[in-house]
Amino acid sequence: MIKEKTIGVVVPAYNEERLISKVISTMPDFVDKIVVVDDKSTDNTVKEASKFKNNPRFSDRIILIELSRNQGVGAAIAEGYKWARDNKIDVAAVMAGDGQMNPDELINIVMPVVNDEVDYVKGNRLLTENSWTNIPRIRFIGNAILSFLTKIASGYWSVMDSQTGYTAISLRALETLNLGKIYPRYGVPNDILVKLNIHDFRIAQIPIKPVYNIGEKSNLKPWKVVFSISYLLVRLFFYRLFFKYVVRDFHPIFLFYCAGFLFFLVGFIGGFIILILDILIALHVLADMNISFGWMLFFTILFLSGLNMLFFGMWMDRDENKNLQINILPAGR
């Protein structure tokens, strides 16, 4: 407990028998409840976590939830969040069961929520020195791509390191979100950000050090995840536009984005068709056809107008959401 507020940590785990004990045993003493959610592991993860129920230091703090089938890290986090919500835990953090999140940094992650400065905090590995050399290169590049797309989709334009799972969330936010609809797999951080933005929750980012090569075993395939989450982000972008700028409160941003996409696509497709026809005419494949210059000019103007509307929509969206993001540097940084 910190400042009379209860702290819970959700630990999603799948086949983490080698590291789950380390994650639990190094949990700071201010953590009131450690909610380990086993995602139907096929190893001894549950057995290792269960040992702490007989440890006087952890017997009253450890909660073990076993999912009946493997559903993904997002589903595991959602189950932990539901427990925290139903048991009125004031601040619920997430620390993976693979030991890649430094427990010494947990205090910095939870304090902005404890102090009611924000409702959601994300760790940010990219704000630390040497992140380019400490994070595996393929993951760094994939993370950078998804972080850029997440800025657009979520409306939190200052977000970096979108894929880190080291987070903290307020009870107020947990009671607002539909936890049954959280994305069940690796896109869960992106999904949560979008849904927090729809309800105008404030967020912050805290620098954390990347932790790798401690014996963790990842099942993540970076490029496969990039494509699947990119598709998710496209869907979430239009979901946010509709619910935030039409359903909750109408805003011209919706019109600028919709008109921008329409003009851009029609201009691009029409211009591409005209270009192909011009090439075929030049090669005498379509010798009897003549393409008017006016059509090319029309589609070019349409394309540029759409692009301009999209940029203007982004500018308005960024301005609309700038007060929902604050920068907090922990003591000593």
CATH code for the domain of 198: 3.90.550.10
Q: Are residues 16 and 84 in the same domain?
A: yes
Same domain, 215 and 255: no
200 in the same domain as 153? yes
Co-location of 268 and 233 in the same domain: no
Q: Is residue 331 one of the residues assigned to a domain?
A: no
| The pLDDT of residue 17 | 93
Number of domains composing the chain:
2
239 and 260, same domain (yes or no) = no
For residues 199 and 265, state if they share a domain: no
Phi and psi of 90, rounded to 5°?
A: -65, -40
In a domain, 328, yes or no: no
Residue with tokens 């190094």, as numbered in its chain: 26
pLDDT value of position 333: 47
Same domain for 301 and 242: no
- What is the pLDDT, as a whole number, of residue 223? 61
Whether the Cβ atoms of residue 63 and residue 38 lie closer than 8 Å to each other: no
Q: For residue 332, is it within any domain?
A: no
Please classify residue 200 by burial: count the beta carbons closer than 10 Å to its beta carbon, then call 0-12 exposed, 13-18 middle and 19+ buried: middle
Q: What is the pLDDT of residue 6?
A: 97
Q: Rounded to whole angstroms, how far apart are CA atoms 18 and 99?
A: 10
The pTM for the full model equals 0.87
Residue 1 lies inside a defined structural domain of this protein: no
Are 73 and 211 within one domain? yes
Task: Give rounded-to-5 percent helix, strand, coil for the chain.
Answer: 55, 10, 35
Whether residue 269 sits in one domain with residue 181: no
Does 35 reside within a domain? yes
- Cα–Cα distance, 156 to 237 (Å, whole number): 12
Is residue 2 domain-resident? no
Tell me which residue of 193, 298, 184, 295 sits closest to 244, measured CA to CA. Answer: 193
* Final residue of a structural domain among 246, 278, 298: 246
Question: Residue 227: what pLDDT?
Answer: 84
Residue 125 is predicted with a pLDDT of 83
- Of 193, 213, 246, which residue is a domain's last? 246
Decide if 89 is inside a domain. yes
State the virtual CA torsion across 175, 178, 183, 186 in degrees, nearest 10.
0
Tens of pLDDT along the chain (333 residues) come to: 999 999 999 999 999 999 999 999 999 999 999 999 999 999 999 999 999 999 999 999 999 999 999 999 999 999 999 999 999 999 999 999 988 899 999 999 999 999 999 999 999 887 666 655 666 667 778 778 888 999 999 999 999 888 888 999 999 999 999 999 999 988 999 999 999 999 999 999 998 887 654 444 555 556 667 788 889 999 999 999 999 999 988 999 999 999 999 999 999 999 998 888 877 777 666 666 666 778 888 999 999 999 999 999 999 999 999 999 987 655 444
- Residues 89 and 165 both lie in one domain: yes
Q: Are 273 and 232 contained in the same domain?
A: no
* Vertex 200: Cα angle to 190 and 169 (nearest 5): 60
Give yes or no: residues 274 and 167 share one domain.
no
> Containing domain of residue 285, as a range?
251-323
Sign of the torsion angle spanned by Cα atoms 18, 24, 26, 27: positive
Of 199, 230, 246, which marks where a domain is finished? 246
Residue 313 included in any domain: yes
- Asked if 70 and 98 touch (Cβ cutoff 8 Å), the reply is no
